[in-house]
């Protein structure tokens, strides 16, 4: 999997996130090792969720001896710090768009939901407190002690919906034009 072409603004944003993540780790007396930083950089450089083996493949471009346990340990660390999320449905990882380092949130414990477009595969992270409250209330009412929940909602994003409507309109116009030509 190739990373998307990033603009210099995107690269500056990635560097700012990396610097903020390192500062947050330093403040917590935790090391942001070079491999953890590089794995985070690779995830940030993608516009879509990326799988562990795709990360490994890219990592091997600069670290020939990189092995799956190395990547998984780095991913576990980044997950534990709230810097990335694992999308269960896709078996892939995405950078957290609400990191504590940038937004002051309690990142490792903040509750998020994901909107996954079935057409373009875009993933949007949302923090819907009402959804989280409904899950907590439903679990409690069932006598269930919840430890973790991830909500992944699949559907069609606004851009694809717009594109589909535009394409459908173009097809209808072509059909009408063809029908008028037949008369």
Mean pLDDT, all residues of the chain: 85
Asked if the structure places residue 22 within a domain, the reply is yes
Note the pLDDT tens digit of each residue in 119-159.
998 999 888 778 888 988 999 999 998 887 889 999 999 99
Residues in contact with 129: Cβ distance below 8 Å, sequence separation at least 6, in sequence order = 111
Q: Which domain holds residue 84?
A: 1-101
Asked if the structure places residue 34 within a domain, the reply is yes
Nearest to 110 by CA among 126, 123, 124, 94: 126
The pLDDT value given to residue 173: 59
Asked if the structure places residue 112 within a domain, the reply is no
Residue 105 confidence class, pLDDT cut points 50, 70, 90: very low
Note the pLDDT tens digit of each residue in 26-64.
998 999 999 999 999 999 999 899 999 999 999 999 999
Q: Which CATH number goes with the domain that contains 63?
A: 1.10.10.10
As for how many domains the chain has, the answer is 1
Q: Does pLDDT of 100 surpass 80? A: no
Share of the chain above pLDDT 70, in %: 82
Q: Does pLDDT of 171 surpass 90? A: no
Asked if the structure places residue 86 within a domain, the reply is yes
Residue 3 confidence class, pLDDT cut points 50, 70, 90: very low
Asked if the structure places residue 131 within a domain, the reply is no
Asked if the structure places residue 167 within a domain, the reply is no
The pLDDT value given to residue 47: 87
Asked if the structure places residue 153 within a domain, the reply is no
Q: Does pLDDT of 104 surpass 90? A: no
The pLDDT value given to residue 53: 97
Asked if the structure places residue 64 within a domain, the reply is yes
Give mean pLDDT, residues 91-99. 86
Across 35-39, 66-70, 104-108, 117-121, least confident range: 104-108
Across 40-54, 61-75, 85-99, least confident range: 85-99
């Amino acid at each position: 999997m190739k990373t998307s072409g990033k603009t210099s603004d995107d690269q500056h944003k990635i560097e700012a996130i990396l610097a903020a993540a390192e500062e947050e780790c330093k403040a917590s007396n935790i090391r942001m090792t070079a491999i953890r930083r590089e794995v985070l950089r690779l995830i940030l450089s993608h516009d879509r969720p990326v799988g562990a083996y795709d990360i490994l493949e890219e990592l091997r471009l600069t670290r020939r001896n990189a092995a799956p346990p190395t990547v998984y340990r780095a991913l576990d660390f980044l997950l534990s710090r709230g810097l990335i999320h694992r999308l269960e449905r896709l078996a892939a990882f995405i950078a957290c768009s609400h990191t504590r380092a940038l937004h002051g949130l309690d990142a490792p414990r903040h509750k998020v939901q994901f909107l996954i477009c079935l057409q373009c595969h875009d993933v949007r992270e949302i923090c819907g407190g009402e959804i989280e409250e409904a899950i907590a209330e439903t679990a409690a009412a069932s006598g269930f002690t919840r430890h973790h929940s991830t909500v992944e909602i699949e559907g069609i994003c606004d851009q694809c919906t717009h594109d589909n409507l535009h394409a459908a309109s173009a097809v209808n116009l072509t059909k009408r034009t063809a029908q008028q030509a037949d008369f």
